[in-house]
Amino acid sequence: MAQKYNIYINEKSLFVVNSIPSDAVDYQQIDSQDFDFEKFYQAIANNPKSKFFLLCKDAKATFKSIKNKIKVIEAAGGFVENEDGKYLFIKRNGRWDLPKGKLEPKEKKKDAAVREVEEECGIKIKKLGKKLIKTYHVYEIKKKPVLKVSHWYHMEAKGNQKLIPQTEEGITEVKWFAKKDWSIIKSNTYANILDVLEV
């Protein structure tokens, strides 16, 4: 059975896999023996490739060992649908995104997801649905790579609520989008958000 973990690093992707997909094109294969994530992270900035496959016998175990060696931040967010079948998106730092944020100490993931959506968009969630997906992306804190693990949940909300962007979090716009208009989102968002949209 194929195992695959996508770690997004800026505009690049590291796929931790136990087999390389047959449709994979224009990628570089990384040797899993003696793999050091921090060294890899530093090296890819100057590498013209954008897709890297770390091929290993046990992708789950390899991914776990990567997680154990760098700082991990847990976050949770919502893919919010209203009764008209439209979905809620936020604009932050000039790009379309989904509402999410870090877990408070001892906070449950699903509680954090609802809290973050309500805080960032100024709405009330009517119903928390199932967990959809986990996404992984890397960014820097004090020049060290940090892995953010985001847990995404389906949610329901009424569509006639006033949307209030949480400006102190850098959010400039909150808007409902029908699926037919998702091309606007897809042309100006992040790879991990595209993963949520494809669930």
Q: Give per-residue pLDDT as tens, 99-144.
A: 999 999 999 999 999 999 999 999 999 999 999 999 999 999 998 9
Q: CATH says 73-197 is which class?
A: alpha beta
- pLDDT at res. 187: 97
Residue stretches of the chain with pLDDT short of 70: 1
**Tokens in use for 34?**
């003696």
- pLDDT at res. 33: 87
- pLDDT at res. 199: 87
53 Cβ contact list (under 8 Å, min separation 6): 15, 17, 20, 24, 27, 28, 29, 30
104 DSSP assignment: P
CATH 3.90.79.10 domain residues, the chain: 73-197
- pLDDT at res. 180: 97
- pLDDT at res. 143: 87
pTM over 0.95: no
- pLDDT at res. 153: 98
